[in-house]
């Protein structure tokens, strides 16, 4: 049998203890217990039946989702009262592929990625999740440094999803030629996939440059290698301060200009909830890159940043990317579930 999933509601009102957790401990009711080799073959999700979790999906889940999968999600939504959400990462990544050239593996990129937006409309709440940068800076109480460009316009994004889902072809989506880009005298809402592709490529190039710091660390890297771990810390702080301060402030702020209290909040944010999971995930990427001489994959950054949505303690992230399951931490923080397990839960 394949991986399964057991979903149960946790009776918080009755103060029922679960597993070995002391009953006096205040804890998040949403927990993900992974399948164990030699133990239970099923993944287990515990949640408050009176307050079902919001569930958001890795972009690759949307890309691989077929009509039967979508119908299953609709049944689970009715049965479990889940609320499905989509992220700005989903939105940008999917749009960045609309102008991909046809290939042997994908003869019609426009139709492939448009189908994802149609499923998002059919399944998800209309309001997009905040950007990962916004989630982190709120967690660190540094949101005053967030440039307006990094705050999703919920209404405009919802319109963008509708336009992407309903465009007849790429020309209609992009508004080309320009003379057809009007309804009467009113400019028509259009989307430029090339903008999102440039953004994705630029982020990938920045991530790849920062990953070059790891070349200074010779394999293997283990827990007792202090000098190597110090270099790993320097690498992570370079990554964090660029993608969560320099970039989302449009270059106005860096770690060096924060006051001492702000620096402390910035660092502490990586030891709590989604920030902690992001930190551990990035360190796992770095160690694997060093020890296995693994190639740098620019998309690793977007994958990791999706974990910051778990700042909200009642959210669950669904992905079949095996990298998310190479490490284990507190199940109340690592609220990440395999897509295959989620599908088997009906």
For the segment 231-289, what is each residue's pLDDT rounded down to a tens digit?
999 999 999 999 999 999 999 999 999 999 999 999 999 998 889 999 999 999 999 99
Q: Write out the residue range of the structural domain in which residue 51 sits.
A: 1-83+317-346
The pTM for the full model equals: 0.87
What is the pLDDT at residue 295?
85
Rg of the chain in Å (alpha carbons): 21
What is the pLDDT at residue 13?
27
> In the β-sheet with 315-318, what is the strand arrangement from edge to edge?
83-85, 54-57, 315-318, 336-337
Length of the chain: 346
Other beta carbons less than 10 A from residue 209's beta carbon: 12
| 171 found inside a domain | no
| 29 found inside a domain | yes
Alpha-carbon distance of 234 to 256, in angstroms, equals 14
| 96 found inside a domain | no
| 5 found inside a domain | yes
Is pLDDT above 70 for 181?
no
| 334 found inside a domain | yes
| 106 found inside a domain | no
Is pLDDT above 70 for 131?
yes
Pair 318, 58: CB distance under 8 Å: yes
Pair 308, 135: CB distance under 8 Å: yes
| 17 found inside a domain | yes
Alpha-carbon distance of 41 to 69, in angstroms, equals 22
| 18 found inside a domain | yes
315-319 mean pLDDT: 96
Task: Name the β-bridge partners of 46.
Answer: 8, 31
Total domains in the chain come to: 1
SS3 for 267? helix
Instruction: Name which of 246, 247, 218, 249 is nearest 231 in CA terms.
Output: 218
Using alpha carbons, list the distances in angstroms from residue 324 to 21, 93, 154, 283: 24, 19, 28, 12
Alpha-carbon distance of 173 to 165, in angstroms, equals 9
Alpha-carbon distance of 133 to 241, in angstroms, equals 11
In 12-71, where do the E strands start and end? Answer: 31-33, 42-47, 54-57
Is pLDDT above 60 for 133?
yes
Other beta carbons less than 10 A from residue 215's beta carbon: 9
Tell me the pLDDT tens digit for each residue of 135-157.
999 999 999 999 988 888 888 99
Tell me the pLDDT tens digit for each residue of 199-211.
999 999 999 999 9
Pair 209, 217: CB distance under 8 Å: no
Tell me the pLDDT tens digit for each residue of 9-68.
433 222 222 232 333 444 558 999 998 876 677 899 999 989 999 999 999 999 999 999
Q: Find the angle CA(98)-CA(102)-CA(103) to the nearest 5 degrees.
A: 130
Task: Name the β-bridge partners of 124.
Answer: 84
Instruction: Name which of 189, 136, 160, 140 is nearest 88 in CA terms.
Output: 160
């Amino acid at each position: 049998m394949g991986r399964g999933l057991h979903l149960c509601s946790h009776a918080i009102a009755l103060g029922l203890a679960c597993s070995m957790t002391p009953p006096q401990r205040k804890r998040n009711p949403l927990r993900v217990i992974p399948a164990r080799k030699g133990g239970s073959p099923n993944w287990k999700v515990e949640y408050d039946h009176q307050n079902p979790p919001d569930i958001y999906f890795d972009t690759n889940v949307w890309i691989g989702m077929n009509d039967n999968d979508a119908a299953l999600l609709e049944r689970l939504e009715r049965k479990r009262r889940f609320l499905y959400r989509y992220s700005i990462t989903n939105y940008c990544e999917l749009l960045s592929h609309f102008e991909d050239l046809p290939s042997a593996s994908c003869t019609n990129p426009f139709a492939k990625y448009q189908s994802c937006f149609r499923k998002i409309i059919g399944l998800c709440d209309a309001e997009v999740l905040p950007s990962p940068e916004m989630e982190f800076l709120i967690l660190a109480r540094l949101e005053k440094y967030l440039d307006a460009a990094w705050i999703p316009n919920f209404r405009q994004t919802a319109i963008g999803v509708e336009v992407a889902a309903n465009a007849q072809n790429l020309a209609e989506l992009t508004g080309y030629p320009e003379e057809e880009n009007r309804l009467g005298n009113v400019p028509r809402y259009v989307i430029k996939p090339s903008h999102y592709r440039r953004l994705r490529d630029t982020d990938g190039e920045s991530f790849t440059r920062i990953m070059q710091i790891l070349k200074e660390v010779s394999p293997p890297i283990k827990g007792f290698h202090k000098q190597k771990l110090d270099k790993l810390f320097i690498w992570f702080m370079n990554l964090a301060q660029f993608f969560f301060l320099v970039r989302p402030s449009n270059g106005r702020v860096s770690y060096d200009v924060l006051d001492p209290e702000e620096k402390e909040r910035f660092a502490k944010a990586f030891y709590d909830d989604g920030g902690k999971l992001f930190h551990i995930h990035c360190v796992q990427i770095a160690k694997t890159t060093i020890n296995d001489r693994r190639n740098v994959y620019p998309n690793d950054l977007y994958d990791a940043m999706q974990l910051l949505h778990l700042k909200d303690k009642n959210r669950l992230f669904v992905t079949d990317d095996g990298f998310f399951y190479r490490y284990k931490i507190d199940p109340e923080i690592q609220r990440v579930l395999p897509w295959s397990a989620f599908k088997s839960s009906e």
